[in-house]
Amino acid sequence: MAKPKYSNKFNGLKWPPLVPGTLIRRYKRFLADVEFKDGTVVTTHCPNTGSMKGCSEPGRPVYLSFHDNPKRKLKYTWELIEMPTSLVGVNTLVPNRLVFESVKAGLVPELAGYEKVEREIKINTHTRLDLLLTGVNGQRCYGEIKNCTMVNDGLASFPDAVTVRGLKHIAELEALFESGHRCVMFYLIQRMDAEVFKPAEPIDPEYSQGLRRAVDSGVEILAYDVSIDLKGIKLNRRIPCEL
């Protein structure tokens, strides 16, 4: 995705110019074939490491960004897919940017009041977390942001594939909480048709159990959906969580 443009008063991320097409197939995780209106077929970069269950159906309208960079083998990046009940943002780079800027702008009441907000914080030799909020008295809040695109009948679920890395992040937050820090798991639902969030236990029972254990220990959980259209994406409302 091209570097997003921010207004002085943050009101979400604006998409770069989007090119419409029809999804033919997604394969090898990072590739997708898309057909344009004139019949041209292009292979586009798919910036999503998950299974994309529920948002990669062939024949659906999709929207791509174009990048005329000679160093890029694939000139197009898949940004959005149009599902029956919502546009869905598939680019996993978006949640970190959107949540970071929204927290900085004071648009997440649960994470307001901190003096400093930082991204991509290294907490040890092998782990980085997505957010660090520091208060005026030095108190710290660590946050990890996850991209959620799977929604069925109003139920948003994460993960859409087994995630060893995600389970490790939960354990890191749990350890930081036990060391005296506030810790938050933040699930950004990149679509508008969710009513409740739950961990996807049938897909990854270990992750689901780890999340429940961490929350029982004191790690907090937040889920937000978005307002999304062909112009941009912004944080919308908090979604209730059921564990």
Instruction: Please state the domain count of the chain.
Output: 2
Provide the residue range defining the domain that includes 185.
94-238
Measured CA to CA, the distance from residue 210 to residue 196 in angstroms comes to: 19
> Where a domain ends, among 31, 66, 86?
86
Measured CA to CA, the distance from residue 79 to residue 52 in angstroms comes to: 13
Residues 178-187 have pLDDT tens digits of 999 999 999 9
Mark whether 75 and 113 lie in a shared domain: no
Residues 211-223 have pLDDT tens digits of 999 999 999 999 9
**Domain assignment present for 151:** yes
Residue 185's pLDDT is what?
Answer: 98
Mark whether 23 and 122 lie in a shared domain: no
> Where a domain ends, among 59, 86, 113?
86
| Nearest by Cα to 148 from 162, 140, 158, 135 | 158
Residue 92's pLDDT is what?
Answer: 95
Residue 2's pLDDT is what?
Answer: 45
| Spans in the chain with pLDDT lower than 70 | 1-8
Residue 5's pLDDT is what?
Answer: 42
Residue 8's pLDDT is what?
Answer: 44
Residue 20: DSSP 8-state: E
Mark whether 40 and 156 lie in a shared domain: no
Give this prediction's pTM.
0.93
Residue 86's pLDDT is what?
Answer: 97
